[in-house]
């Protein structure tokens, strides 16, 4: 159960939380890079101490085969080969697990696997379907940065400040995914990069947290000058900075007194149609177009004296798209939805810092990127630590993983602080974080069912979780020997939408979920089961003919015990138990046809919960 604390004083809550956590992060910023072994041991000590105080006995360490499969899937998204399982199990070296972790982190599959994780985080909740066009480019961009050891702070900065063609600049992913809309970008950036959900404060003060509506809109005020534009190429879009006002009537509504003075030729404090038309014709780039003058007077001249005052301009109704077209951010007036709302200047809710007025779009977004990734920001490091830990252990220190904040209390708070401090001291190196978590004894424990009691502490065992869609896809194609890129000419045939016919895209569309969703909420469904049962590609690869993996196993192993051992190593990355061998041999005899029986057995293993889950 998530323990939730409440302070009557919002200021006290923020001061306590920010003060304690910021001190932890600030300490990491000035110290030497923390060693993975040291931090892993400290995290284990802290967790074990709290478990023992609660009367909880952790389970034993998992065996080598389970560790190999688990770690290979978590780091690279791949299954270990049967040869890998055999060699690792026979290796007598005491530090072989640590060496395995380093080997996996050097693999290019590490970057690809975690790039796909972040692809799902960004694209699964996307509000703009056009964003999918660039998701393959985003994967490639992210994989290169992860494999090259680019710090998480630099990656996030690139994503928050990106501009340009979405295919040529895949770091625009988050901005295009949210359609360039300031409120959506603010909410998603906050949720993904800080682990804080502020979207409820869009319309009202947060009902269960300290965030105020004004704070949410001050965050959104960093992003109103982002525009999504279609380029001259078909189905091609770009993110552009718009620093000149997009709404030609905005200056009039935002500065009515100045507008009146500018157009008032006779100094009577009001403007006529003639004065406005004359000024518009003199300054066509800055004035109101002449054809709009009549419409403005129809809406604004409330006393019908054929003149407009500043007060009448202030009372004019605002077009529905006015806020969307402005380069400034307005907080809607809930009592008067037709009005433009309150002009809001950017301010960062964590420390109340403000970049000041007069900045361009580039300046505003650079300022918010600095605020997000600052070493003094207590939530930036904790958010990704919590995410990666949950992906490895099945549960996070905070649950849900993207709903942290001052009124939420972490399980094992000192442990997450130790990891966050080490992560910051290592310049936000995600590879360091993955290595450290994988080296903990907490991660290397056996899998066990999650305790039923809501207040039970986690991490006495690893929680069994369903594999992400990409991991299932990788495993299926690897086991069955299917070449993911075997359909030659697919790109040339499909143009911009060719990605939609990629096997991985289609599989992810059916099996994929936002990794932010709690693991307990992820279950299989009927369409997924039907795919595994009826897919033509899978059915063809599951036959026992001479061209398949199964056919090769049967050709090279005439003894059933040897063939079954090879089959289990291939699919489940472990040897079958004596009882499993007996059951399988009985089934083979009952069927009478060796090839048919093994096809059934292999299909059963591929549809088993063990294959689809972490163990």
Q: What is the pLDDT of residue 323?
A: 46
**Mean pLDDT, residues 379-404:** 96
Pick from 49-63, 237-251, 276-290, 562-576: least confident:
276-290
- Is the same domain home to 227 and 268? no
Q: What is the 3-state secondary structure (H, E, C) of 127-189?
A: CCHHHHHHHHHHHHHHHHHHHCCCCHHHHHHHHHHCCEECCCCHHHHHHHHCCCCHHHHHHHH
Tens-place pLDDT, residues 62-112: 999 999 999 999 999 999 999 999 999 999 999 999 999 999 999 999 999
**Mean pLDDT, residues 355-365:** 92
Q: What is the pLDDT of residue 132?
A: 87
Is 314 part of a structural domain of the chain? yes
Q: What is the pLDDT of residue 24?
A: 46
Cβ atoms < 10 Å from Cβ of 614: 23
- Is the same domain home to 232 and 364? yes
pLDDT band at 3 (very low <50, low <70, confident <90, very high): very low
Q: What is the pLDDT of residue 497?
A: 61
- Is the same domain home to 259 and 233? no
Is 389 part of a structural domain of the chain? no
- Is the same domain home to 491 and 548? no
Tens-place pLDDT, residues 118-176: 999 999 999 888 888 899 999 999 999 999 999 999 999 999 999 999 999 999 999 99
- Is the same domain home to 180 and 131? yes
- Is the same domain home to 475 and 438? no
Is 576 part of a structural domain of the chain? yes
- 459 in Cβ contact with 389 (< 8 Å): no
Is 100 part of a structural domain of the chain? no
326 contacts: CB under 8 Å, gap ≥ 6: 224, 245, 246, 247, 250
- Is the same domain home to 47 and 148? no
Q: Is the pLDDT of residue 282 over 80?
A: no
Phi, psi at residue 558, to the nearest 5°?
Answer: -80, -30
Q: How far is CA 94 from CA 35, 100, 314, 443, in A?
A: 19, 12, 76, 17
Domain boundary among 524, 539, 554: 539
Distance CA 543, CA 141 (A): 38
Domain region containing 535? 469-539
Q: What is the pLDDT of residue 312?
A: 87
Is the pTM higher than 0.85? The answer reads no
Is 490 part of a structural domain of the chain? yes
- Is the same domain home to 528 and 552? no
Q: What is the pLDDT of residue 181?
A: 94
Token output for 225 = 């000058």
Q: What is the pLDDT of residue 293?
A: 78
Q: Is the pLDDT of residue 552 over 50?
A: yes
- Is the same domain home to 600 and 563? yes
Tens-place pLDDT, residues 414-464: 999 999 999 999 999 999 999 999 999 999 999 998 888 878 899 999 999
- Is the same domain home to 159 and 237? yes
Identify the CATH number of the domain in which residue 292 sits: 1.10.238.10
How large a percentage of the chain has pLDDT more than 90?
A: 62
Domain boundary among 494, 521, 539: 539
Q: What is the pLDDT of residue 486?
A: 56
Is 85 part of a structural domain of the chain? no
- Is the same domain home to 556 and 586? yes
Is 396 part of a structural domain of the chain? no
Is 217 part of a structural domain of the chain? yes
- Is the same domain home to 192 and 45? no
**Total count of domains within the chain:** 5
Domain boundary among 398, 428, 463: 463
Distance CA 477, CA 470 (A): 11
Which residue(s) pair with 408 in the sheet?
A: 4
Burial of 522 from C-beta contacts in 10 A (0-12 / 13-18 / 19+): middle
């Amino acid at each position: 159960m998530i323990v939730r604390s409440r302070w009557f004083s919002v200021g006290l809550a923020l001061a306590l939380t920010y003060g304690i956590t910021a001190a932890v992060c600030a300490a990491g910023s000035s110290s030497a890079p923390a060693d993975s072994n040291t931090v892993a041991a400290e995290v284990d000590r802290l967790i074990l101490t709290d478990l023992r105080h609660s009367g909880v006995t952790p389970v034993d360490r998992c065996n080598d085969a389970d560790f190999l499969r688990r770690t290979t899937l978590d780091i690279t998204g791949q299954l270990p080969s049967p040869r890998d399982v055999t060699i690792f199990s026979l290796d007598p070296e005491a530090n072989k697990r640590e060496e395995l972790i380093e080997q996996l982190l050097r693999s290019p599959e590490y970057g690809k696997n975690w790039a796909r994780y972040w692809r799902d985080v960004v694209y699964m909740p996307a509000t703009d379907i056009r964003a999918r066009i660039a998701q393959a480019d985003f994967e490639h961009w992210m994989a290169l940065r992860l494999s090259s050891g680019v710090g998480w702070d630099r990656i996030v900065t690139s994503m928050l400040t990106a501009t340009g063609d979405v295919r040529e600049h895949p770091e625009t992913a988050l901005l295009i995914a949210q359609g360039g809309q300031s409120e959506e970008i603010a909410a998603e950036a906050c949720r993904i990069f800080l682990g804080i959900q502020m979207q409820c404060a869009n319309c009202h003060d947060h009902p269960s947290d300290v965030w105020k509506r004004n704070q949410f809109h001050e965050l959104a005020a960093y992003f109103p000058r982002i525009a999504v534009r279609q380029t001259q190429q078909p189905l091609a879009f770009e993110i552009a900075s718009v620093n000149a006002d997009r709404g030609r009537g905005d200056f009039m509504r935002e500065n009515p007194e100045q507008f009146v003075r500018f157009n008032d030729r006779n100094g009577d404090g009001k403007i006529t149609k003639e004065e406005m038309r004359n000024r518009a014709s003199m300054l066509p780039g800055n004035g109101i177009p002449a054809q709009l003058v009549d419409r403005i007077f129809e809406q604004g001249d409330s006393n019908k004296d054929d003149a407009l005052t500043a007060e009448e301009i202030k009372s004019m109704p605002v077009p529905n798209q006015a806020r969307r077209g402005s380069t400034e951010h307005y907080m809607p007036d809930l009592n008067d939805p037709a009005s433009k709302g309150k002009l809001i200047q950017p301010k960062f809710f964590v420390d109340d810092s403000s970049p000041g007025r007069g900045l361009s779009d580039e300046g505003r977004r650079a300022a918010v990127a600095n605020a997000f990734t600052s070493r003094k920001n207590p939530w930036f490091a904790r958010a990704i630590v919590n995410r990666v830990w949950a992906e490895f252990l099945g549960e996070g220190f905070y649950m849900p993983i993207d709903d942290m904040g001052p009124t939420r209390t972490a399980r094992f708070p000192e442990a997450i602080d130790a990891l966050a401090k080490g992560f910051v001291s290592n310049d936000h190196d995600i590879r360091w974080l993955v290595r450290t978590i994988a080296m903990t004894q907490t991660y290397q424990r056996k899998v066990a069912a999650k305790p039923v009691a809501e207040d039970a502490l986690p991490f006495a065992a690893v929680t069994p979780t369903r594999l992400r869609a990409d991991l299932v896809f990788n495993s299926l194609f690897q086991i069955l020997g299917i070449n993911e890129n075997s359909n030659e000419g697919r790109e040339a045939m499909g143009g911009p939408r060719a990605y939609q016919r990629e096997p991985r895209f289609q599989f992810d569309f059916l099996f994929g979920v936002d990794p932010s969703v709690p693991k307990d909420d992820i279950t299989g469904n009927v369409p997924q089961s039907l795919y595994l049962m009826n897919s033509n590609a899978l059915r063809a690869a599951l036959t026992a003919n001479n061209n398949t993996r199964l056919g090769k196993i049967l050709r090279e192993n005439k003894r059933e015990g040897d063939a079954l051992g090879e089959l289990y190593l291939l699919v489940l990355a472990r040897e079958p138990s004596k009882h499993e061998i007996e059951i399988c041999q009985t089934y083979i005899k009952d069927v009478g046809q060796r090839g048919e029986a093994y096809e059934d057995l292999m299909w059963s293993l591929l549809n088993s919960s063990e294959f689809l889950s972490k163990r």
